[in-house]
A = this chain, B = another copy of it.
Amino acid sequence: MAMDHAAAEGDHLAAERAAARFDVEAMKVAWAGSRHAVDVADRMARLVASDPVFRKDNRTMLSRKDLFKDTLRKAAHAWKRIVELRLTEEEASLLRQYVDQPGYVDLHWGMFVPAIKGQGTEEQQKKWLPLAYKFQIIGCYAQTELGHGSNVQGLETTATFDPKTDGFVIHSPTLTSSKWWPGGLGKASTHAVVYARLITEGKDYGIHGFIVQLRSLEDHSPLPGVTLGDIGGKFGSGAYNSMDNGVLRFDHVRIPRDQMLMRLSQVTREGKYVNSDVPKQLLYGTMVYVRQSIVADASKALSRAVCIAVRYSAIRKQFGSQDGGPETQVLNYRTQQSRLFPLLASAYAFRFVGDWLNWLYTDVTQKLEAKDYSTLQEAHACTAGLKAVTTSATADAIEECRKLCGGHGYLNSSGLPELFAVYVPACTYEGDNVVLLLQVARILMKTVSQLTSGKQPVGTMAYMGKVQHLMQSKCAVKTGTHSVHLYLFQAS
């Protein structure tokens, strides 16, 4: 680390920056993906930073109620700016990202709209999406129940078809069947995609999605038979306390039949359950999409934490002074470097593996549309495994960055406590990491067990097909190259 004239004068970051031995502008472009991406990101970041409505400095100091109001205000203002400035979808998404405050809008755009797009018929999409696009309705995604998270097939909420009224009766039969956690449910949403056991002609057809109105479009009060509320405070001072995660119970709430999401299967006027010809595997495509975006987000969260810790380590000095001279920058201690630099490297690694997963998603989607399911399992294993590995590593790394800032990392003003508290649920949502790793292990074991049957593993698992060869290989390598390293990984 540089210890030159500028550093001696106290302007440590300038000295460190001047000592960079790579092209910073080129790295910016590599990180963002293109010069265009750098420019758009800069523009949107400035737009948010210069707008007093989007201020963040008081976020950890507001009461829960004021924090929630602040979220409503920011969401409405963001929407206003997006419309006024005619922002593209890319720009709007970046703007929301820089506002950086969890809120009901995330679920409306990130879960409610995609659920209708992915699982609704064209007719249903035509009816509901324009309402959602114009915010005439606000939607959330009501899947998890008090007693059922990872085991989606164990959900207890029922949707029983009633041929007399040509509709479904949505009901919460037990305490554990209460919907629990959906963001946007507690205060904001007027509608939800509710996941429930479809029962028709006395038979249970398992979990299906239904569009259910929860609150009046007149006065926002809960509709008859609907009980809902906010589930209370969460980790951190601000963090997800800006989100109205909610609880929801149904007492025999009736909805018309056409509010079942019917792209993959239907219930007829007579109550017959019918599968459509749309392959169910398409649903996996959505899961792959969501998880690859979580991997991409890991690098964003990690890079912010590492940035704070690296800058702090350059400024902070401790010990090592001789004869009353300046102390040593903590960045120059090996104990600091050995903890910090691998995290810095991980931020870059996660950034580029996120790109690769995005390519994998595009690839698997194209194959699915051509009814080629050959790479689906491998893509599922890659996204599940990388989701688990990157989110766990990132959560731990943010906490490590916090500790690397010593006592100062414990103050909210360092930004790190909130970064941790707002990030760490990523280890649990969209597939608990331990459950996901077990799924990956199962797929790996299954692939190994099928080797003798002549079934050739694909993609990242293709090397297993060479197991005989690899196990007999001996290493005569004297200098390391990329391909040698890869070969050694495969063989080990």
Binding site for B on A (CB under 8 A): 60-61, 63-64, 144, 147-151, 154, 181, 231-237, 240-241, 316-319, 321, 327, 335, 339, 399, 403, 406-407, 409-413, 417, 420-421, 424-425, 427-429, 432, 434, 438
Contacts and interface: CB of A to CB of B under 8 A. Distances in A.
Nearest to A437: B335
Contacts of A147: 316-317
Contact of A61 (B233, B321, B413): B233
Given A151-B319, A319-B154, A407-B428, A412 B335 contact: no
A144 B406 CA distance: 12
A411 B60 contact: no
Given A236-B236, A236-B417, A237-B237, A327 B151 contact: yes
16 contacts: A60-B233, A148-B318, A151-B319, A154-B321, A232-B413, A233-B237, A234-B412, A235-B410, A240-B410, A335-B438, A403-B427, A407-B425, A407-B428, A409-B428, A410-B424, A410-B428
Contacts of A410: 234-235, 240, 424-425, 428
Contacts of A231: 411
Contacts of A407: 144, 149, 181, 425, 428-429
A240 B412 CA distance: 11
A233 B63 CA distance: 13
Of residues A64, A154, A410, which shows the largest number of chain B Cβ atoms within 10 Å of its Cβ? Answer: A410
Nearest to A64: B61
Given A232-B413, A235-B237, 16 more contacts: A60-B233, A63-B63, A147-B316, A149-B407, A150-B406, A151-B318, A232-B412, A233-B413, A234-B410, A335-B434, A403-B427, A406-B432, A409-B428, A410-B424, A410-B425, A410-B428
Contacts of A403: 427-428
Number of copies of this protein chain within its complex: 2
Contact of A327 (B144, B154, B429): B154
A116 to B, nearest CB: 24
Contacts of A413: 232-233
A102 to B, nearest CB: 12
A404 B173 CA distance: 27
A300 to B, nearest CB: 20
A416 to B, nearest CB: 8
A417 B412 contact: no
B63 A417 contact: no
A160 B407 CA distance: 29
A334 to B, nearest CB: 10
A237 B241 contact: yes
A148 B327 CA distance: 10
A428 B412 contact: no
Nearest to A61: B233
